[in-house]
Amino acid sequence: MLQPSRTKYRKQFRGTMRGNSKGNLVTFGEYGLKAMTCSWVTANQIESARRAIAHATKRTGRMWVRIFPDKPITEKGAGAPLGAGKGDVKGYVSVVKPGRIMFEISGVTESEATVALKLASAKLPVITKIIKRK
């Protein structure tokens, strides 16, 4: 699973997901998967979508993952009482805002790209749209 090799602080605040994303253009590939809503995408979901694209394209062409899970998420133990402090780090998520290009692929036909990105979209908790490079 993806996770940062080291962080300055072990735990973070939850934060807000207001506004639109900056990474909103297909830069590397020909086709991209664009987020239309905001959500946290976990490292497991990113890996699952990446594997779905690799399987659908039979590993031909090239793929770019444009999001990285760098935000630690905490969870308290099952029997922890109220007021026992913040829980331990459970995993890492990527904060995805509307407009963010999450995956890009190139070197495959348009129909193959559409099928692969639709399969990846099913693995993610955000509403997505398949876009083509201008």
Within a domain: residue 117? yes
Within a domain: residue 52? yes
Domain span holding position 106: 32-74+88-132
CATH number of residue 100's parent domain: 3.90.1170.10
Within a domain: residue 18? no
pLDDT exceeds 90 at position 1: no
Q: What is the pLDDT of residues 64-110, one digit of tens each?
A: 999 999 999 999 999 999 999 999 999 999 999 999 999 999 999 99
pTM metric for this prediction: 0.94
Within a domain: residue 10? no
Within a domain: residue 111? yes
pLDDT exceeds 90 at position 10: yes
Q: Residues for the chain: how many in total?
A: 134
Distances (CA, A) of 131 to 29, 62, 95: 11, 16, 20
Chain CA centroid to CA 71, Å: 12
Distances (CA, A) of 127 to 4, 41, 53, 109, 114: 26, 12, 17, 23, 15
Arithmetic mean of pLDDT over the chain: 96
Within a domain: residue 14? no
Within a domain: residue 13? no
Give how many domains the chain has, as a whole number.
1
Within a domain: residue 100? yes
